[in-house]
Structure formats: structure tokens, C-alpha cells
Amino acid sequence: MGHSITAIILKGDFDKDKAKGFDLFPTLLDSGLSLFHIDHYYSACWQHKLKISGKLDISNIDCIVFPNEIVISEIIKNISSSENPEYAIIPFWLLNRNYLGGYY
């Protein structure tokens, strides 16, 4: 079973109510950084809901379930207090394993 764990790291302040409206719940980190857990299904859903099309220009990730929808940029612009928000989409790990549920 494959696992894909990704998140957005946002630098600076953001509007907590707007973030909540996008189903984003932060984990506050040091140095003014916030972490929002997302995945491809999250970004694909919001891309559909907001009727936005397009992909982010991410050339170093070759994984079909990596969240690369342009809507991520629009959401971050919407929730950030900064006019030009600084953020990154971080893959924590991509791990493919085969295992059985229960005993083995």
C-alpha cells in the first residue's frame, strides 16, 4: 500500500477563520511557520469546488498523488496576511509497502 504524506509550510501570519473555511487546521512551528496537512485529494477537491484549473510548475516531483493543483496557490493567497506569501509544499515521505491487514 502506498503512503503519501504532504503538507504546506506557510511563513508568516494567516487568517485562522479563512483557513478553517478551507478545512486547513494549522500546526504552529517555530520561526513564524505554520504547517497545514494536505494531500492530492484535498487539492483536487478544492480545485473542483472553486472551478479553477491548472497545475503548479513543480518539475522535481513525479508522483501522481502529489498535490500540484494551482488552487493551492490561490488558497494560500486567500488565507495569508502577506501580499506575497512564502510557502512550500513538502513531501514528508513517499513510501510504497505491501502488507496485510491483521496478522502476518
Cβ burial, residue 50 (10 Å; 0-12/13-18/19+): middle
In a domain, residue 89? The reply is yes
102 lies in some domain: no
For residue 72, the one-letter residue type is I
Give domain status of residue 65, yes or no: yes
Residue bearing cell 486567500: 78
Domain of residue 59, residue span: 2-96
Residue 103 maps to a domain: no
Domain membership of residue 59 (yes or no) is yes
- Least Cα distance to 91 among 63, 72, 55 occurs for 63
101 occurs within a structural domain: no
Q: Per-residue pLDDT tens for 66-95?
A: 788 999 999 999 999 999 999 998 876 544
The pTM for the full model equals: 0.79
As a whole number, the mean pLDDT across the chain is 84
Res 16: pLDDT? 97
Residue 11 placed within a domain = yes
Q: How far apart are CA 95 and CA 88, in angstroms?
A: 20
Q: For residue range 36-67, what is the model confidence (pLDDT) as tens digits?
A: 999 888 999 999 999 999 988 876 655 666 78
C-alpha cell at 58: 513543480
Within a domain: 77: yes
Give the chain's domain count.
1
